[in-house]
Amino acid sequence: MINIWNMTILDVSVYNIINWFYIYSFLGWVFESTYVSLKQGHIVNRGFITGPLCTIYGAGAVLVYLILKPLDGNVILIYAGGVVVPTILEYFTGTVMENIFKTSWWDYSEKKFNYKGRICLSSSIAWGFFTVALFLILQPAVVRFVALYSVSTGQKAVMIISLAYVVDFTVSAMATINLTSRLAKMELTISEFYDYIKSTRVYQNSKEFREKIDAYRNEAMDFSKLKANIYEKVNDISETAGSIFEEGKIIPKTFDTIKEKSEFYSKEFKEKLEKTSSYYITMVKNNSFITKRFIIAYPKFKVSNNRFNKYLEEIKKTFLQRDIFKEDKK
């Protein structure tokens, strides 16, 4: 029977590779979470999963070490390889996650010499220094640490951690997929409401109102402002009818008909608005623990579909600023 633990990849046993992977994933999580926490001024749990692992660091460290191991002893070549290999891995990881989950977890677009926001020169230079530190400091320390516990203990620990990781990863992946699905529902809700407004006479006959509504459609909906605009406009219908009657331009019977229709029109508008607004705000506010963690840990987190990002920004604002949505008392 083949012992998987003793199988080798580039002259390194699978047992050691997996142990190193989890140790570096944990160290990466400590580094990322500490750095971002200090930068943002509050505790942040980084990483795709909820547990204390940043697997991109684990995979990156192990791959870089295995690939560049023949260069051990030549600091210059190790640095050069450390610039190239992690950069390729970072780009590949970003591309895969965008294609699978339709989300983007980091964005270097604002940095100079970036490519598609996934990689940038300053980050690549930093990877080179990290790689030198990996060979000179980290890897020797990790090897000594793994030697501190027995192989059987290491195997059991790896199996337990792997099981927990699979569960954690699955839950996080589902949360990401559900978030994208919710953003799609928010887009559909707004589209249907916008189509309804476009079909009304208020929209067709008022250029000012039409311009405001179109502006709301292009940006994320702010229902508190939208309500105020629509309430004002539909209430104007009755007032306009009243002023025309007072000027003697229509007969009383005609005025009664206009007033009746305008009141119905106003009621229909408001009911439709309240229903849409209530559903939209519920979609914005009701986020899972994992989604909230994503928002805190990755401020630049976004989805691949640019039409959905305006709704994602509303979710971010609602969570980061608890009072962003206050119920309209009208």
Q: pLDDT at residue 326 above 50?
A: no
Check whether residue 215 and residue 93 sit in a common domain: no
Check whether residue 58 and residue 184 sit in a common domain: no
Whether 53 is in a domain gets the answer: yes
Whether 246 is in a domain gets the answer: yes
Lowest model confidence (mean pLDDT) among 20-24, 37-41, 66-70, 157-161: 37-41
Task: Please state the separation of Cα 24 from the chain's center in Å.
Answer: 25
Q: pLDDT at residue 48 above 50?
A: yes
Instruction: Look at 170 and 218; give whichever has higher pLDDT.
Output: 170
Q: What pLDDT, on a 0 to 100 scale, did the predictor assign at position 159?
A: 96
Tokens describing residue 135: 């060979």
Report the C-alpha gap between 128 and 101 in whole angstroms.
29
Tokens describing residue 60: 């990156």
Top mean pLDDT of 175-184, 215-224, 300-309 is at: 175-184
Report the C-alpha gap between 324 and 220 in whole angstroms.
13
Check whether residue 217 and residue 280 sit in a common domain: yes
- Average pLDDT value for residue range 307-315: 75
Check whether residue 125 and residue 41 sit in a common domain: yes
Check whether residue 123 and residue 183 sit in a common domain: no
Whether 74 is in a domain gets the answer: yes
Check whether residue 115 and residue 226 sit in a common domain: no
Whether 232 is in a domain gets the answer: yes
Instruction: Look at 259 and 90; give whichever has higher pLDDT.
Output: 90
Of the candidates 172, 140, 167, 127, the residue with the CA atom closest to the CA atom of residue 23 = 140
Check whether residue 129 and residue 184 sit in a common domain: no
- Number of compact structural domains in the chain: 2
Q: Of all residues in the chain, what percent carry a pLDDT higher than 70?
A: 73
Tokens describing residue 253: 């019977």
Whether 301 is in a domain gets the answer: yes
Check whether residue 144 and residue 182 sit in a common domain: no
Check whether residue 115 and residue 197 sit in a common domain: no
Check whether residue 144 and residue 192 sit in a common domain: no
Q: Of all residues in the chain, what percent carry a pLDDT higher than 90?
A: 34
Whether 112 is in a domain gets the answer: yes
Query: Tell me, what CATH number does 247's domain have?
Result: 1.10.132
Q: What pLDDT, on a 0 to 100 scale, did the predictor assign at position 155?
A: 95
- Average pLDDT value for residue range 219-243: 52
Of the candidates 31, 50, 38, the residue with the CA atom closest to the CA atom of residue 292 = 50
Whether 167 is in a domain gets the answer: no
Instruction: Look at 60 and 226; give whichever has higher pLDDT.
Output: 60
Q: pLDDT at residue 41 above 90?
A: no
Report pLDDT digits (tens) over 186-195: 778 777 877 7
Q: pLDDT at residue 325 above 50?
A: no
Domain that holds residue 104: 4-148
Report pLDDT digits (tens) over 55-102: 989 999 999 999 999 999 899 999 999 999 999 988 998 888 888 777
Q: Which amino acid is at 4?
A: I
Whether 207 is in a domain gets the answer: yes
SS3 assignment for the chain: CCCHHHCEECCEEHHHHHHHHHHHHHHHHHHHHHHHHHHHCCCCCCCCCCCCCCHHHHHHHHHHHHHHHHHCCCHHHHHHHHHHHHHHHHHHHHHHHHHHHCEECCCCCCCCCEECCCEEHHHHHHHHHHHHHHHHHHHHHHHHHHCCCCHHHHHHHHHHHHHHHHHHHHHHHHHHHHHHHHHHHHHHHHHHHHHHHHCCHHHHHCHHHHHHHHHHHHCCCCHHHHHHHHHHHHHHHHHHHHHHHHCCCCCHHHHHHHHHHHHHHHHHHHHHHHHHHHHHHHHHHCCCHHHHHHHHHCCCCEECCHHHHHHHHHHHHHHHCCCCCCCCCC
Q: pLDDT at residue 165 above 80?
A: yes
In angstroms, the Cα distances linking 142 to 27, 53, 94 are: 10, 16, 27
Check whether residue 195 and residue 89 sit in a common domain: no
Check whether residue 200 and residue 98 sit in a common domain: no
